[in-house]
Structure 1
Amino acid sequence: CCLGNRVHRARNMWLTILCSLLTLRSVSAQELFFGNCPSVQPISGFNITRYLGKWYEQQKYFAVFELGLKCVTAEYAATGINSVSVNNGGQYYFFNLPSTAVGRAVLIPSPDNKAQLAVGFGPFTPSQPNYNVIDTDYTSYTIVYSCSPVWFFNLQYLWILTRDRNYPGNSLVERRQKISSLGIDISRLSVTDQINCT
């Protein structure tokens, strides 16, 4: 009797964990990995003013909110000290209808001015960073990453954004090599279609 109850409780616990992970996976639109987050730090000495402007998405981890989208862009504009408006856009493959998502980003203060921001698209902006710039030259590319631990797993998202819609393939290879050197899995990166955009 007692053994049966323990088995039942253990099964229910694992079902709850699994359902929670699946829910987080779909809501957060991130890739699920086993184990701890890689030790990846945002760059220091971040210049948010130079970072503003339009970026074109070249590669990314799967994101459910981008399903059916091509020509994905992100545009950042200053709204105050260390505060930025976020305007994400794209086109649906079918009918070429536009898609937009407007949000807000806040640079999280740090002694060495790390490139860690909290981005939100609802009425509230998160208090913890969920947008970390791990490499950028401001003028041609940026790599954005985040990882959150969940039980025995972690949820990661990753984007390669560029200033030009048509980014050279050899330069993209260099960006992927940089990501891999930081211990981040590049095998799950998918290419964003930036062809025939209006």
Structure 2
Amino acid sequence: MTKLSKLLLCLVLLGVAGCTGVPENVEPVQNFQLNRYLGKWYEIARLDHSFERGLSRVTAEYSLNPDGSVRVVNRGYSREQDKWKQVEGRATFVDSEDVGHLKVSFFGPFYASYVIVELDKDYQYALVSGYSKSYLWILSRTPSLPQSTVNELVQRAAALGYQTGRLIFVDQAAAPATQ
């Protein structure tokens, strides 16, 4: 392997590793309990990204794989294409299993951070970030949250430096109920 090839490989590996970090001034939740987090979550709001653009009724479902990793199924409805879209991935803890910091992959060996920034004591809503402040989701166990709770989560995200003015609030009733 040439020196240039080794350098390029190192840069790619550093870039991929950097995608599993935590944004500056953000701390993942402690005393995290995966078994309580498993199940279905509804996306209440998100920062825009091409992989979810135009989707409504977005959900994420987490279940345990036999090997201890987490099966991740994200789905949403595209009005434009009049169809449901779904992607399946796999998540594992970055460090300790009691810290809400996982890495998730939907495309082979490429992982990205899944950082649980805020989680209520009953595991009914969560504020989740990616590896940078360009990624943010507000999730709930139900298709809606009280506006006061949404406001608190948005304020918390804004205090951490997220561009909350760019949040897209997901329409959870904008698609046919049949799948």
TM exceeding 0.5: yes
- Find the aligned partners of 2:75 and 2:48 in 1 and give their Cα distance: 16
Q: Which runs of no fewer than 5 residues in structure 2 stay unpaired? A: 1-18
Q: Is the 8 A contact 2:114 2:131 kept in 1?
A: no
Partner of 2:130: 146
Question: 1:128-152, CA deviations, whole angstroms, 9 ceiling, x for partnerless residues?
Answer: x61100011253211111234xxxx
Q: Select which of 24, 31, 51 maps to 1:45.
A: 31
Report how many aligned residue pairs link the two structures.
Answer: 155
Partner of 1:34: none
Correspondence 1:163 to 2:149: no
In the TM superposition, what are the counterparts of 1:6-45 in structure 2 within 5 Å? 37-45=23-31
- Find the aligned partners of 1:59 and 1:185 in 2 and give their Cα distance: 12
Q: Which runs of no fewer than 5 residues in structure 1 stay unpaired? A: 1-27, 29-36, 149-154
- Find the aligned partners of 2:174 and 2:54 in 1 and give their Cα distance: 15
Question: 1:127-181, CA deviations, whole angstroms, 9 ceiling, x for partnerless residues?
Answer: xx61100011253211111234xxxxxx620000111002222221111122223
Q: CA deviation at 1:189?
A: 1.2
- Find the aligned partners of 1:166 and 1:39 in 2 and give their Cα distance: 28
Q: Is the 8 A contact 1:86 1:105 kept in 2?
A: yes
SS in 2 for 1:43: coil
Question: 1:104-144, CA deviations, whole angstroms, 9 ceiling, x for partnerless residues?
Answer: 0111223x831111100122253xx6110001125321111
Q: Select which of 93, 100, 118 maps to 2:79.
A: 93
Partner of 1:174: 152
Q: CA deviation at 1:82?
A: 4.6
Q: CA deviation at 1:73?
A: 0.5
RMSD over aligned CA atoms reads 2.3
Q: Select which of 95, 99, 118 maps to 1:114.
A: 99
Which amino acid in 2 is paired with 1:120? S
Percentage of matched positions with identical amino acids: 34
Which amino acid in 1 is paired with 2:103? A
SS in 1 for 2:157: helix
Higher-Rg member (1/2): 1
- Find the aligned partners of 2:54 and 2:134 in 1 and give their Cα distance: 21
The 1:99–1:64 alpha-carbon spacing in structure 2 relative to 1, beyond 3 Å, is same
